[in-house]
Structure 1
Amino acid sequence: MADKDHKKLHAIMIAYPLQGHIIPTVHLAIKLASKGVTITFINTQPIHHQISKSNPPPPPPSSTAVDGGDFFAGARNSGLDIRYATVCDGLPLGFDRSLNHDQFMECLLHVFSAHVDELVGKIVRSELESECPVTCLIADTFFVWPSVIAKKYNLVHVSFWTEPALVLTLYYHLDLLRKNGHFASHDKREDTIDYIPGVRSIKPTDLMSYLQATDIGTVVHRIIYKAFEDTKRADVIVCNTIQELEPETISALNQKKPTYAIGPIFPTGFTKSTVAMSLWSESDCTHWLDTKPHGSVLYISFGSYAHTSKHDILEIAHGLLRSGVSFVWVIRPDIVSSEDLDFLPVGFEENVKGRGVIVPWCCQIDVISHSAIGGFLTHCGWNSILESVWCSVPLICFPLLTDQFTNRKLVVDDWKVGINLCDERSITREEVAEKINRLMCGKTSDQIRKEIKKMRKVLEDALASDGSSQRNFDQFIEDLKIKVSQRNGIATWQHEDASSNHA
């Protein structure tokens, strides 16, 4: 096989089937393809179905789409080599994955890998004699199987981490947290954690929710244990973070595994992507926002996955009423649960008519980049934080689960670009109103806006042609080419496997 074939990259990419993971994975696929990497992008069939249902009909399907619709057709029309396929996640299409969360997770833990294995094998074999055989597997860090499948098909394994490096390194060092009694311990230690490589110190209350839990035998915990054992066998890790924001953490991770900080991974020009990836139909709020003064509107969204209580929604609603601030509030129908759809105060929508808009979903990039938006009440999902910083929109933090508590620590304590929604465990409408007004106007607001503009400059510089993220991205591709070329026996394996398939 010619040397040029060794250096041509063809990566299979598999997105974790949650909205917050799909978005950066799609943007990474486009970014890689724009550098000449061939991508075969895989969605689960339920995610494909939900996106198809929530968006206008896609262009006619290509031969690579498994079940109709190819979200990357527009990207291919612009010259990018991105193929598309779907895979069964092991459950029926109509199964309510939100309502039956644990069953869904059990399926991802035990069943999903067999379907992925079958599809990856089919793609690898079909491309063996092409000019661009498959060379890499880029899979979300939370999957439990990538290293096994990558090894089986002799692919370089890239673990894609969609959250901050701080969260990655805490999970990576679960053994240290366990050994020191800050995880899986009856002692419930409350002293500061200062022994994790690359982390100066962190309070136990700022750990991810799963590391604060008393029940550590849940299906999500079992996924975490297995996923991070698998990640330690990856060839490289790519992080959606910024070198300058987490220098010590990334440096320490690099001692364990080649780690590349290439964030923030945004669509070109920070405009709505040409690739459909929203799981819900999007309402257009921009015309209403056009009628509002600069920086006067609070945007509220708790993301695509986390649930909260009816009590919290009620207190936030009453706090909004008291604050007098204009707002756009994204309330997913299943924000409390798939079965409880009546959770706002009686008459709330009539009482806020003219100064408030409630929608089930929207294009967050369109809304948050609008000049009328002056603040963001957020669950602290990592995508939301990066987008908010890029638009210089300060944050009110209301973490609900998983990495969001640790992200809040970065936002409020380290970077000082946001405030907490509630300082105690229980939300009150009085505190909600006070925090909203503090963020939207006054001395605290001015200081936070000053800090977030500095942080925006850091992100902007990192993405510049000579910035750290761009350099790291280019280096990642070059190092990946070397790893592909050095993969032991790759040419022999490809030749022998191709021969056996034609026997």
Structure 2
Amino acid sequence: MEDSPSTTKPHLLLIPFPFQGHIIPSAHLALKLAAAGFSVTFVNTEAVHHQIALANDEYLARFSGADGGHRDIFAGARSSGLDIRYELVGDGLPVTFDRSLNHDEFAVQLLHSFHGKVEALAGRLPPISGLVADTFFVWPATLARSLGIPYITFWTEPALVFSLYYHMDLLRHHGHFGSQAENRKDTITYLPGVAAIEPTDLMSYLQDSDTTTVVHRIIFKAFEEAHQADFILANTVAELETETIAAVHREKPFYAVGPIFPAGFTRSAVATSLWAESDCSQLLDSRPRGSVLYISFGSYAHVEKKVLEEIAHGVMASGASFVWVLRPDIVGSNDPEPLPAWFKKETAGRGIVVQWCRQAEVLSHPAVGGFLTHCGWNSILESVWSGVPMLCFPLLTDQFTNRRLVVGDWKVAVDLGGGSGRMAVRREDVAEKIGRLMRGEEGVMAREEVKKVRSILQGALAGGGSSSRNFDRFVEDLKCRVSSRRPV
């Protein structure tokens, strides 16, 4: 933090959306950009940093001063020669404010107050050559224009989801979204690059009848800004979404550079976890190949307690060994014991329940044979990279659309159901589908398909692969763009 970014390199300001699933790929994008010859300033909120510091105190202490210091998450990366700095801004709320329990109040701050903090920071930094900001922010194009620099919108989800949001006007025009009466239920066939999609496969916010919420206001404004972006950088793979990407690219420069993983995949040089990570290796090392079900519903979504109880009954009845991640606020911050009291006792010796873990490390362990997932995009990419088929239980936002990709298009997953407002699930179905995934013919077929998709991901990142070429092209295009104008 003490040193200024190099004045001999183009300087990028990179700002992730302050949720775990956005921070992880953003941090590793920052490392890639620094390795490609940029000077990078990475910005976290004070609240996010506080959580990271609490969860990773021992790791971060190795790179800070004797007094504990600032706990700079990029200090280790910088000591290896990367020109990257770390800054913090407030989000308008106290660090100790419970953002999980008071999501709407937090969202209001992101909508109305956060941009002012970023603008003030930009004014204190050395000259900025480009702004790389998460697509869900509501101010990046406006800020970039005021600074006279290009805006690179960083999209952390599939191109399909980007295209659906990008074309909300078409969905509204045809009555599939935002209808004052009832949204149409017939198949959607008019979106550029999307052959056909069912309304039930739209993101949860595009299925809602009430479009006046603060989250909807954020989405609407964010995609007004995205329409003004100079470049779109996306954590997806060209071969997996060819037609959708081609259609978006016709409107705006779109670079598919995913999957964005840390070097080595299982361990990162940057601390990004918001919760302390448990070591699950003792159980995994003691189990046969492909026998353990990994369960996680991600870093953000909440699950009703009655739904967790049905899933718990199903897991118990399935007989499968398991590692189950249940973060402390999965039901709510005021309910730290979400599972039924009997569950741990009844399943003792078969599995473990932890608050958080190194997911990539667990998924890549040979004992893991299936993943019961909420279908977050990071989880999907990590599962495919590890060759692990999935059992899908989406909860909100892009997770329904992601399920369409992995179940319908790629055929690497089994559908369990789920949904925001559609969360009915029966314990018998849970047990049956775990069995089908872990021991049945459906699981065998999904394992074969996941090998094929994994090969596509590996090929994309290899030298000369599509993501590698796209990243190099993006770097060249951006450097050409920033060299043609004087940074401010």
Shorter-chain TM range is: over 0.9
Question: Which whole-Å CA distance do the structure 2 matches of 1:316 and 1:370 have between them?
Answer: 24
Determine which of 304, 308, 315 is the counterpart of 2:303: 308
Partner of 1:171: 165
Contact 1:282–1:361 (Cα < 8 Å) also in 2: yes
Cα distance in structure 1, aligned partners of 2:317 and 2:267: 34
Name which of 425, 429, 432 aligns with 2:430.
432
Change (3 A) 1:221 1:340: same
TM-score, normalised to structure 2, is 0.95
Shift of 1:485: 2.2
Q: How does 1:385-396 map to 2 (within 5 A)?
A: 385-396=380-391
Q: Does 1:337 align with 2:335?
A: no
Q: Is the 8 A contact 2:25 2:261 kept in 1?
A: yes
Letter of the structure 1 residue corresponding to residue 81 of structure 2: G
Amino acid at match of 2:74: F
1:198 to 174, 193, 197: 193
Distance in 2, matches of 1:377 and 1:97, equals 26
Alignment-derived partner of residue 94 in structure 1? 96
Residue number among 433, 441, 448 corresponding to 1:450 in the alignment: 448
Give the match for residue 37 of structure 1: 38
Partner of 2:106: 104
1:324 corresponding residue in structure 2: 319
Partner residue in 2 for 1:467: 465
Q: Helix, strand or coil: the match of 1:380?
A: coil
Secondary structure (helix, strand or coil) at the match of 1:270 reads: coil
Contact 1:289 1:372 in 2 (8 A): yes
Conserved? CA contact 1:144–1:230, under 8 Å: yes
SS of 2:86 mapped into structure 1: strand
Question: Contact (CA 8 Å) 1:262, 1:473: kept in 2 or not?
Answer: yes
Kindly report the root-mean-square deviation, in angstroms, between the aligned alpha carbons of the 2 structures: 1.5
**Equivalent-residue separation in structure 2 for 1:265 and 1:56 (angstroms):** 25
Partner of 2:29: 28
1:139 aligns with 2:133: yes
* Deviation sequence 1:100-157 (CA, Å, 0-9, x none): 000000000000000000001111xxx2xxxxx4201100000000111111222211
Structure 1, unmatched stretches of 5+, are 128-132, 495-503
Kindly provide the CA deviation profile for residues 243-274 of structure 1, in whole angstroms up to 9, marking residues without a partner as x. Answer: 00000010010111100000000011212102
For the pair 1:150 / 2:148, whether they are aligned, the reply is no
CA distance in 1, matches of 2:8, 2:197: 42
Aligned partners of 1:166 and 1:246 also within 8 Å? yes
Deviation at 1:71, TM superposition (A): 0.6
Identity across matched positions, percent? 59
Helix, strand or coil at the partner of 1:134: coil
Q: How does 1:415-426 map to 2 (within 5 A)?
A: 415-422=410-417, 426=424
Q: Secondary structure at the match of 1:94?
A: coil
Q: 1:61: how far off?
A: 4.8
| 2:360 partner letter | I
Q: Report 1:100-499 matches (<5 A).
A: 100-123=102-125, 127=126, 133-185=127-179, 186-422=181-417, 426-487=424-485, 490=486, 494=488
**Distance in 2 (alpha carbons) for counterparts of 1:234 and 1:6:** 25
CA contact (8 A) 2:283 2:351 kept: no
Unaligned 5+ runs, structure 2: 1-5
Compute the displacement of 1:442 (Å): 2.2
Would you identify which runs of 4 or more consecutive aligned residues in structure 1 move more than 4 Å? 59-62
Structure 2 distance, partners of 1:71, 1:192, is: 46
The AA in structure 2 aligned to 1:345 is P
8 Å Cα contact 1:7/1:485 also seen in 2: no
Report if the CA contact (8 A) 2:39-2:84 is conserved. yes
Distance 1:8 1:155 in 2: 15
Instruction: Give the number of equivalent residue pairs.
Output: 474
Contact 1:289 1:370 in 2 (8 A): yes
Judge conservation of contact 2:266–2:358 (CA < 8 Å) in 1: no
> Which residue matches 1:130?
none
User: Quick check: which has more Rg, 1 or 2?
Assistant: 1
Residue 6 of structure 1, CA deviation: 10
**Alpha-carbon separation, structure 2, partners of 1:75 and 1:432:** 43
